[in-house]
Amino acid sequence: EIVLTQSPGTLSLSPGERATLSCRASQSVSSNFLAWYQHKPGQAPRLLIHAASSRAAGIPDRFSGSGSGTDFTLTINRLEPEDFAVYYCHQYGMSPPPFGQGTNLEIK
């Protein structure tokens, strides 16, 4: 079973700064089938990135994804107040499809 490990668990930054979130897989991710979601309390999770680096429709270009194999990164440039949330990586193309445990991006 593939395990996704996200780091850091909590990231404290200020608006305007850059956030770098990591997701490491215990085995190589086939075809870069790796997605990122944003989740705010009381709201529906929101798809940000799929195929490791493709932005979903309507996602601002300050969000970018990169990586391949076992190491993936979500970068958020010029943090806006609405970007503070929990972020999850997700490997798909398999069953069961694992999620990482999440990174809590909080305002410093």
Partner 1 sequence: EVQLVESGGGLVQPGRSLRLSCVASGFTFDDYAMHWVRQAPGRGLEWVSGISWNSGRIGYADSVKGRFTISRDSAKNSLYLQMSSLRAEDTAYYYCAKDVTYSPVNFFDWWGQGTLVTVSS
Binding stretches for partner 1 (CB under 8 A): 33, 35, 37, 39, 42-47, 50, 56, 88, 90, 92-102
In the complex, least distance from residue 60 CB atom to partner 1, rounded to whole angstroms: 17
In the complex, least distance from residue 79 CB atom to partner 1, rounded to whole angstroms: 22
Q: Which is nearer to partner 1, 16 or 58 (CB)?
A: 58
In the complex, least distance from residue 14 CB atom to partner 1, rounded to whole angstroms: 25
Q: Which is nearer to partner 1, 39 or 62 (CB)?
A: 39
In the complex, least distance from residue 73 CB atom to partner 1, rounded to whole angstroms: 17
Q: Is the dihedral of CA 83, 85, 86, 91 positive or negative?
A: negative
Look-up: residue for tokens 């996200």? 6
Distance CA 43, CA 61 (A): 22
Q: Which is nearer to partner 1, 15 or 94 (CB)?
A: 94
Distance CA 89, CA 23 (A): 6
Q: Which is nearer to partner 1, 67 or 100 (CB)?
A: 100
